[in-house]
């Protein structure tokens, strides 16, 4: 086995288990005690959590992938955004919301990843009316079908395909329906067609959105099939360098309603509020925050688009330029709370964790493994057991 390399990052800055299972990445597989593996940058990347740091190694790679160890480490550091201090961000957020200190402790090391744009886009198109466990299953099926395998002594790991690889499928919608994508299959087919028809290189176009403003990037993404405001914000936050993007779903709406609305009326006057739980805001934001709280309360029984937008703007007002990172910790914390309650109802052990829920074994291909540069014969679209190529 290859030797481990120390990333020299402490647990307060990154913990693998919650970061890789909180619903932002769906291809990391638990492959050993505190070990996670995924095909990234053309390599099978192995990560290991220790009590003091994170280790990494590569288990295999594509023939076309750069093999320089320093290049792989640099790419991984960029993916994990290790140049950003999570501890410093948490210090800032705790000044605004003293209660954040408890969340910080419970969700230690949950940080936002900087993922490949194509992967993030297509993974979150699958998130519509879905849960983490099922999204993980669909994304892994997608990669096993369209991606390229990397064989390792821990199993086979599949790369996420490029748009042009998906476009070579004779019947994208029909194929994905057979893979279990249901009504979402048509979104994939339309988005692939739109990207390929409008851009010579879809990857370059999507990467170019990193240089656009949040509003411009959101507008461009919303033109794609299956992309609504939440999916657009997820892609902006997790792939397009927009740390202020705040995706809002029912979880975050409820967090805003439960965690902040009861305390907002007491901002700066402290009436009926414990001193240690008072929100601390600049004077110019107090009225904005109170107005947003009223919108949240108005949408309490049946959350409207305005109520969701109010929750989003509230998180931004509270946590500033890296509000999307704070949202990630709030989401992870609410996920833990929800699952603990569900486990209690089912009388399951308290140790029933997200890791167990989303952990998947390496996907077994429904067809022979393809070589890295396969000949692409025409094959009937009716057979899902073989790759459909033009």
So which residues are the catalytic ones? 230
CB of 113 closer than 8 Å to CB of 325 = no
Write out the DSSP string of 289-321: HHHHHHHHHHTSSS--HHHHHHHHHHHHHHHGG
Nearest-10 crossing angle of helices 86-96, 305-319: 110
Cα distance between residue 126 and residue 139, in whole Å: 8
Cα distance between residue 59 and residue 193, in whole Å: 35
Strand, coil or helix: 7: coil
DSSP single-letter state for residue 188? H
Nearest-10 crossing angle of helices 229-239, 323-345: 110
Cα distance between residue 251 and residue 22, in whole Å: 12
Write out the DSSP string of 51-72: SS-EEEEEEEE-TTS---HHHH
Tokens standing for 264? 């907002």
Q: What stretches of 62-206 adopt beta strand conformation (E)?
A: 149-152, 155-158
Q: 147 Cβ partners below 8 Å, 6+ apart?
A: 39, 158, 159, 160, 161, 165
CB of 46 closer than 8 Å to CB of 8 = no
CB of 43 closer than 8 Å to CB of 118 = no
Cα distance between residue 118 and residue 24, in whole Å: 14
């Amino acid at each position: 086995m290859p030797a481990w390399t120390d990333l020299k990052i402490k647990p307060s800055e990154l913990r693998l288990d919650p970061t890789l299972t909180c619903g932002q990445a769906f291809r990391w597989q638990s492959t050993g005690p505190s070990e996670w593996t995924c095909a990234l940058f053309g390599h099978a990347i192995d990560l290991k959590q220790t009590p003091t740091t994170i280790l990494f190694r590569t288990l295999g790679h594509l023939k076309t992938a750069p093999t320089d160890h320093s290049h792989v480490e640099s790419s991984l550091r960029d993916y994990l955004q290790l140049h950003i201090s999570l501890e410093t961000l948490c210090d800032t957020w705790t000044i605004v919301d003293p209660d954040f200190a408890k969340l910080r402790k419970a969700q230690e090391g949950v940080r936002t990843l900087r993922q490949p744009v194509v992967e993030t886009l297509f993974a979150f198109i699958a998130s519509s009316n879905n849960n983490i466990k099922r999204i993980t299953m669909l994304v892994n099926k997608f990669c096993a079908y369209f991606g390229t395998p990397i064989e390792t002594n821990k199993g086979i790991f599949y790369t996420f395909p490029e748009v042009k690889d998906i476009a070579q499928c004779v019947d994208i919608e029909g194929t994905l329906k057979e893979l279990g994508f249901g009504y979402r299959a048509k979104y994939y087919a339309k988005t692939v067609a739109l990207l390929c028809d409008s851009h010579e290189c879809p990857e370059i176009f999507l990467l170019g959105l990193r240089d656009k403003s949040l509003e411009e990037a959101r507008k461009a993404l919303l033109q794609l099939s299956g992309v609504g405001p939440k999916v657009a914000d997820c892609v902006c936050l997790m792939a397009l360098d927009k740390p202020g993007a705040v995706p809002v779903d029912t979880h975050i709406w409820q967090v805003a309603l439960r965690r902040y609305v009861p305390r907002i009326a007491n901002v700066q006057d402290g009436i009926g509020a414990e001193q240690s739980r008072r929100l601390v805001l600049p004077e110019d934001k107090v009225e904005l925050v109170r107005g947003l709280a009223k919108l949240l309360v108005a949408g309490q029984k049946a959350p409207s688009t305005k109520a969701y937008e109010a929750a989003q703007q509230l998180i931004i007002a509270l946590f500033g330029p890296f509000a999307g990172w704070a949202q990630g910790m709030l989401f992870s914390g609410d996920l833990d709370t929800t699952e603990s309650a569900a486990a209690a109802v089912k009388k399951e052990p308290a140790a029933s964790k997200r890791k167990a829920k989303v952990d998947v074994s390496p996907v077994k291909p429904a067809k022979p493994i393809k070589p890295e540069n396969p000949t692409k014969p025409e094959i009937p679209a009716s057979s899902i057991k073989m790759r459909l190529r033009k």
